[in-house]
Each structure stands twice: as structure tokens, then as C-alpha cells.
A and B are shown apart, each in its own frame.
Chain A
Amino acid sequence: MMKWMAKEPVISKIKKRRIIQLISEGKRLDGRGKLDYREIRIEKGIIGTAEGSAMVCLGQTEVVVGVKIGLNAPYPDTPNEGILAVNAELVPLASPTFEPGPPDERAIELARVVDRGIRSSRAVDLKKLCIIPGRRVYILFLDIYVLNHDGNLIDASALAALAALSNAKLYGYQIENERVILDKSIWSPLPLQDHPVAVTLANIGGELVVDPCLEEELAMDARITITVNKDGDICAVQKGGPGFLTVEQVLEAINIAREKAEELRAKVLG
């Protein structure tokens, strides 16, 4: 029953107290300020077999996203649109708390939050991925692969997703005897209309910090992820974690996220 529940790693009480104490003094374990991200490295096009790919390192957190594009029948309720399917795998090599098997609630939440940002901002114009309405459309699989878990998987995955989409190839097609087949001799860049970026803040002992590392996540009350589109509007929100946020923290988080998103976006697109 409820097999999808994940067992969280544990943190010693002394370490937890230390993290909270440091943050109350405006400092963090690794010397960052409250609103500093860890070092971000982005490498695009690292997987030759994928139509689009990217690896993002956020401190010790490492995430690879691969985009595969194929052909499919459209969903009956959206006959004129291509299909976007986002999936996340928390593979066991990435953390002692990840286990083989079907995605647990953490993986599903991660995939759905990244999906929500891309879908709400209409980053991928699904109407342009329609080939024959009601019959044949492009299907875009975006697979998030976590290689090392050191916290803030949502921001790392959203960045990797955006980077992978921004270098994805859309192959052409030919129609032979009413059958649509991909023509890999021609391709164009996947059209992107927006660049959603997720910013996650953790509430630790009543203070908000961005980009929590794993130990900070284990010490936090709650986290909030705010995804910001290229116009500075909000296109997804997700509160997570076992605790709460005050109303003031919610409003403050929205302001911080808008500023931080600009900074991150420049890193992916630059």
C-alpha cells in the first residue's frame, strides 16, 4: 500500500542545528550567502543518440536530460497538437536512498513540476508539432536522469530540460503511401517560444535560502519552487516538504525568484 512513498535519508540532530544556526547568522555550510546559487555548469549536446541533450551540474548535483523525438497518434482531445511527455528517473547510482523500480513520488513530483513550467509557458509550441491533424504528430520525450543527488533536483532538472530543448533537432518527415516517416537527412532546430526557469527556496528555521543542498533539504521545514517565464511572469509553483511557509515568505519568495531566474536564464542561453 502506498508503495510510491519515498524513504528520506536522515541527518543528525547536531548537524541540523548547525545548519539552522549558521543560516540565522546569514551564513551557510559551504560559505554561500542566503541568495547564492552553487556553481552552475551546463554542457549541451553531450548525448549523440538523443535529438537534444544537456548535463547540468549544480554544485555536486548532476542531472542529464535527453530529448527523443518520434512520431505518434495525437491525444483525442488535442488532435492538432504534438505530445510532450516528461519523465524523471532517480536511478540508484545517484544516491543511497534511490531504489530501482517504478518512479516513486519524488520522481513523479520532479517530472510533473518541470513539465508544468514547460507546458504553462508554452515553451514548446505543440501546435507546430502537428503533422496530420488527428492522425500523426511529433512526440517529444523529455527524460530527466539524475546522476548525483546533492539537493535541489528541481532547479537542476529544469535548467537541464531548457538546455536540452534549446539544442534539440526536429527531423523532417516524408509521406509515403499515406504513411508518415521521419527523414533524418533534414532537420531544423526545435522551435522554442519561451525559456522557463525554476527557482527553489527553502524555509530553514524561518529564513529563506535559494538552492538548498541535500543537507539543507534535510534540515528544512519546507521548500517552494517558483518557475518564471521570459517575461518575468510566473508559470508554475510548487510547495514541497513536511513544513509550512508564512504568508510573508510566500510573497517574498515570488520577488526573489524573479530576480534569480534572470541570472539562471542567462547561463543556459548564453
Chain B
Amino acid sequence: MLADKPRLIDEEGRRLDGRGPADLRPVHIEVDVLANADGSAYVEQGNTKVLAAVYGPKEVHPRHLSLPDRAILRCRYHMAPFSVEQRKSPAPSRREIELSKVIREALEPALFLEYYPRTAIDVFVEVLQADGGTRCASITAASLALADAGIPMRDLVAAVAAGKVDGILVLDLTDVEDKHGEADVPLAMMPGLDRVTLFQMDGVLTPDELKECVKLAIDGCKRIYALQKEALRERFVRIRKEIEAGEVEG
């Protein structure tokens, strides 16, 4: 397929960036990063950088799309033209349209859409820098942005991919590992409820390997979930400090 496949895992089982198979990349999360959005979050996972914003619940345009018994959730996953090595055309690609759909369907089970009939909740995700795992980082960020917007949720949604690289099952693949590896299994879940809301795979795995990848990804999601909650807590601590300092009205 691709020429010059680099060696991705060394004799000691270390990956190109020094991680072991079940290690996550360093994850950095910030909540409430955009002033205009009703909710927003920024996620860095290794070299992947993703920004998510939520607008709503708000009036639906065009109006005929509104539903009488619940809110509609809309999602746009988009990659910045400069987010990849070869400039990407800003027009939505087929990949981006599919990912917009699966990300929406990964977030929807967490929301009480029936609380806001005849409204729309819009989720916008911009990938600023892509190094593998962008759909998962997008879900991690978008679910925090929804929580930041104050939209009632059953749980946060955390996501990460597992996969197979040089014959070894690994967690949180980078772009090279995805491109040259044997399989990629992105998974999103509500860790507090044990519900899987996104599950995809490409490549080839035996059924046992696939089940193992599911377990690996679930474990990764739980670790990301802890970081999400910490980031959300920090945001409220910040607000409280601002109130106490008299910078904003309580």
C-alpha cells in the first residue's frame, strides 16, 4: 500500500513517541475558551488539536427542520486547511460529512433533547492540527462544550481509538500508526453508564483482537473521562474565583 513503512514498535515494545501499547498521548483539556459560544472546549491529544463550540438551544433555521417534541442536534466536523501536511480544501469532504454524522450520533444519546422542543443545538468542531484520533478528540471536546453550555446530559461522552500496529494492539493511534497500521477502532462511550455511542473499525482484526481493542478503548475512555471531569471542575473553580474577586456578578 504505502511505500517505506517505518518500524512503528521497537524490540522493547516502545512506540515511535516512546509510549507503551496501552498508553494515551499527553492530553490537555480546557473548557470555556471562546467568548461568543454558549459552550466551548479545546482538546490537545499529542499533536492533535481540536476546538469545539456549541450554540443553542436556539431557534431553528430553516424552521421546517424543527421537531415538535424535541430539539434537533446538528454537528459539523471540519478540518482547517492547514491542519494537515498537504493543504486540505475547506469544502466539506465525504469523510467530513460522514464524521459529522457519526459524531452527532455519538453525542445525541447523552442529551435530553426532549427538554427543548422546536429548538436547535449546533455543535461546531474545528480540527486545527491533525495527528490521528481527530474524531475521538472532537467527541471528547464537543461533549465538554455541551456541558459548558449548560445543556442537561446523562453523562459526558469520552472517546479514543484502539488499533493494531506492527502486530500489537495499541491505544490512541497517531497518524503514522493509523496509516501504516493494520487496524483502527475508534470508540466513544458514556463511561458512567457503560454505553457505547460510537464504534467504527477499518482494517482487519480477528474477532478476539477486535474484542480486545474494545476493552483497550473502554479503558482509555475512562482515563479521558477523569480528565474531562477535572477540566470541567477547573472551569467552575475559575468562575467562582472571578465572582469572589468581584469581576463578575454572582
Shortest distance from the beta carbon of B65 to any chain A beta carbon, whole Å: 7
- Contact A232–B74 (Cβ < 8 Å): no
B229 close to A (CB within 8 Å): no
Given A120-B202, A237-B199, A237-B201, A258:B207 Cβ within 8 A: yes
- Contact B214–A251 (Cβ < 8 Å): yes
Among the stretches A37-45, A51-59, A238-246, the one at the interface with B is A238-246
Given A233-B207, A247-B218, A242:B101 Cβ within 8 A: no
Interface size class of A (residues with CB under 8 A): 35 or more
B194 close to A (CB within 8 Å): yes
A2 to B103, CA, bound (A): 14
For A237, give its contact among B98, B100, B200, B206 (CB under 8 Å): B200
- Contact B105–A241 (Cβ < 8 Å): yes
A77 close to B (CB within 8 Å): yes
- Contact B206–A233 (Cβ < 8 Å): yes
For B196, give its contact among A1, A7, A108, A245 (CB under 8 Å): A245
- Contact B74–A236 (Cβ < 8 Å): no
A242 to B67, CA, bound (A): 15
- Contact A232–B196 (Cβ < 8 Å): no
Digitize A71-89: 1 where CB-to-B-CB distance is under 8 Å, 0 elsewhere: 0000001100100000000
Q: List 21 A-B contacts (CB under 8 A).
A: A2-B74, A4-B97, A78-B1, A78-B2, A103-B94, A108-B97, A109-B101, A111-B94, A120-B183, A234-B206, A235-B204, A237-B201, A238-B199, A239-B102, A240-B101, A240-B102, A242-B109, A244-B190, A249-B196, A251-B211, A255-B207
Q: Do most interface residues of chain A lie in helix, strand or loop, or is the interface mixed?
A: mixed
- Contact B207–A246 (Cβ < 8 Å): no
- Contact B97–A244 (Cβ < 8 Å): no
Identity of the chain A residue whose Cβ is nearest the Cβ of B157 in the assembled complex = A244
A254 close to B (CB within 8 Å): yes
- Contact A254–B211 (Cβ < 8 Å): yes
A105 close to B (CB within 8 Å): yes
Residues of chain B lying within 8 A (CB to CB) of residue A233: 204-207
A233 to B195, CA, bound (A): 25
For B195, give its contact among A1, A4, A229, A244 (CB under 8 Å): A244
- Contact A5–B74 (Cβ < 8 Å): yes
Most B CB within 10 A of own CB, among A5, A119, A238: A5
- Contact A4–B200 (Cβ < 8 Å): no
- Contact B203–A235 (Cβ < 8 Å): yes
**B interface with A by C-beta (< 8 Å):** 1-2, 65, 74-76, 92, 94-95, 97-98, 100-102, 105, 108-109, 183, 185, 189-190, 194-207, 210-211, 214, 218
- Contact B94–A246 (Cβ < 8 Å): no
For B197, give its contact among A112, A232, A239, A251 (CB under 8 Å): A239
Given A2-B76, A250-B196, A240:B203 Cβ within 8 A: no
Residues of chain A lying within 8 A (CB to CB) of residue B201: 234, 236-237
A144 to B74, CA, bound (A): 27
- Contact B202–A116 (Cβ < 8 Å): yes
- Contact A109–B98 (Cβ < 8 Å): yes
- Contact A245–B202 (Cβ < 8 Å): no
Residues of chain A lying within 8 A (CB to CB) of residue B198: 239
Shortest distance from the beta carbon of A68 to any chain B beta carbon, whole Å: 19
Beyond the given pairs A112-B95, A112-B98, A235-B202, 14 more chain A to chain B contacts, judged by CB atoms under 8 angstroms and listed by A's residue number, are A77-B2, A120-B202, A233-B205, A233-B207, A234-B204, A234-B207, A236-B202, A237-B210, A239-B198, A239-B199, A244-B190, A245-B196, A246-B195, A258-B207
Identity of the chain B residue whose Cβ is nearest the Cβ of A229 in the assembled complex = B204
- Contact B105–A250 (Cβ < 8 Å): no
A224 close to B (CB within 8 Å): yes
A111 to B94, CA, bound (A): 10
- Contact B100–A4 (Cβ < 8 Å): yes
A121 close to B (CB within 8 Å): yes
A119 to B218, CA, bound (A): 27
Residues of chain A lying within 8 A (CB to CB) of residue B214: 247, 250-251
- Contact A120–B196 (Cβ < 8 Å): no
A131 to B102, CA, bound (A): 37
A252 to B197, CA, bound (A): 16
Shortest distance from the beta carbon of A169 to any chain B beta carbon, whole Å: 26
Those 10 A-B pairs whose CB atoms lie nearest each other, nearest first: A237-B201, A244-B195, A239-B199, A244-B109, A105-B101, A242-B108, A244-B197, A4-B97, A245-B196, A108-B97
A258 to B195, CA, bound (A): 23
A161 to B148, CA, bound (A): 44
Residues of chain B lying within 8 A (CB to CB) of residue A105: 97-98, 100-101
